Amino acid sequence: MTTLDAVTKKTKNEPTREAVAAREWVRLAKEQCLALDGPEGLLGQFTKTFLETALNEEMTEHLGHEKNRAPDERDESNVRNGTRPKTVISPSTGPVTIQVPRDRDATFTPVIVPKRQRRLTGVDEIVLSLYARGLTTGEISAHF
């Protein structure tokens, strides 16, 4: 099995993808007068996007098919059933409102943001690290 560090190892003189991406994000944020932290800041936006993407991937895995791609001959009627808002709190971003997907049978139990949990610990660092390393959504889901 390949580890995340082995995939992204660089020589000492070559900057990592994470460092290059972070530098670019900070440059763009400064150009747009966007704060780096806080719920409306750069990190808050990445946290929201990352969590919603991961939750949608978890739902896809739970149901066994992509959104709007359920096979006609499926055995069960459980499909996506919209979303519900949830406010999560992160130490560096503050409160961030995300959309958590629902399924018709209410059997979906999210892993990345468990039910009845609002405080995120360590997600900010993971968001930046995985996103900057260019991992696909499937690789990020596998990481969690």
pLDDT digits (tens, 9 = 90+) for 108-135: 999 988 888 888 766 656 666 776 777 6
Residue 98, helix vs strand vs coil: strand
Q: What percent of the chain has pLDDT over 90?
A: 24
* Pair type for strands 94-103 and 80-90: antiparallel
Helices 123-132 and 17-31: angle between axes, nearest 10 degrees = 100
Distance of alpha carbon 106 from alpha carbon 123, whole angstroms: 25
Q: Give yes or no for residue 97 having a pLDDT over 60.
A: yes
pTM, two decimal places: 0.66
Over residues 66-93, the pLDDT tens digits come to 887 777 777 677 889 999 999 998 877 7
Q: What percent of the chain has pLDDT over 70?
A: 76
Q: Which residue has the tokens 């992160």?
A: 90
